Structure 1
Amino acid sequence: MNLCIMENCIKPVKAKKYCAMHHQRWRRHGDPNTIKVRKSDPPAVCQWVRCEKPTLCKGYCAKHYYIQRMMKS
C-alpha cells in the first residue's frame, strides 16, 4: 500500500500520489498545503411576522415551515 507523499501524512494514496484530503486541496487550490475555511452565510431570521427564530428551510423556522407546508396541502 502506497502512502501520501506529503510530509507526516500516513494516509493511503487516492490519486496523483496524494491521499484523499491532500488531493482535494490540490484540485481546489492548486496546492495540497493550502487550507481555506469555507465561509457560511450568517443565520437568517424566520420570515413569519414577529418571529425571531433562525430559519430551517425556505425562510421559515421549524414551527412556521411546518405550518406553511400544512397550509399548502
Structure 2
Amino acid sequence: MNNECTIENCTKPVKARELCSMHHQRLMRHGDPLTIRPRRTKIVTNCKWINCTKSASTKGYCSKHYYIHRVTRTV
C-alpha cells in the first residue's frame, strides 16, 4: 500500500480515500480533488456616514459610526 496521495506530482501523506488532506478536502467540498477555487477578496468601500473617509467594516459604516448608528437607532 502506497502512503502517498494518488494525485499526480503530490507526495503528501494519505489522509483518506488514497488522497492527502488538501485533495480530500477539495473532493468533499467540490466533488473533484483537482478543483481550485480562488479565495474571495473583500471589496473596500468608504463609510457611508457624511464626510467620513474611513473604510467601512459593518453594514456600510466604519466601526465608530456603526456603533453610533446601532446605539442611537430606534427600534
Tell me if both proteins adopt one fold, taking TM over 0.5 as the criterion: yes
Query: Structure 2: how far apart are the matches of 1:50 and 1:20?
Result: 49
Structure-to-structure mapping, 1:1-73, within 5 angstroms: 2-57=3-58, 59-62=60-63, 64=65, 68=68, 72=71
Task: Give the aligned residue type for 1:20.
Answer: S
TM-score (norm 1): 0.65
What is the aligned residue count? 71
Query: Structure 2: how far apart are the matches of 1:56 and 1:12?
Result: 40
Task: Give the aligned residue type for 1:40.
Answer: T
Deviation at 1:56, TM superposition (A): 3.3
Segments of 5+ residues of structure 1 without an aligned counterpart are none
Is 17-26 or 52-61 further displaced after alignment?
52-61
Query: Structure 2: how far apart are the matches of 1:14 and 1:55?
Result: 41
Task: Give the aligned residue type for 2:34.
Answer: N
Deviation at 1:39, TM superposition (A): 2.7
Q: After superposition, give the CA deviation of every residue in 1:12-69 in whole Å (9 maximum; x if it has no partner).
A: 112211111111111122111111113334223213321122223454335556x74x
Query: Structure 1: how far apart are the matches of 2:6 and 2:37?
Result: 21
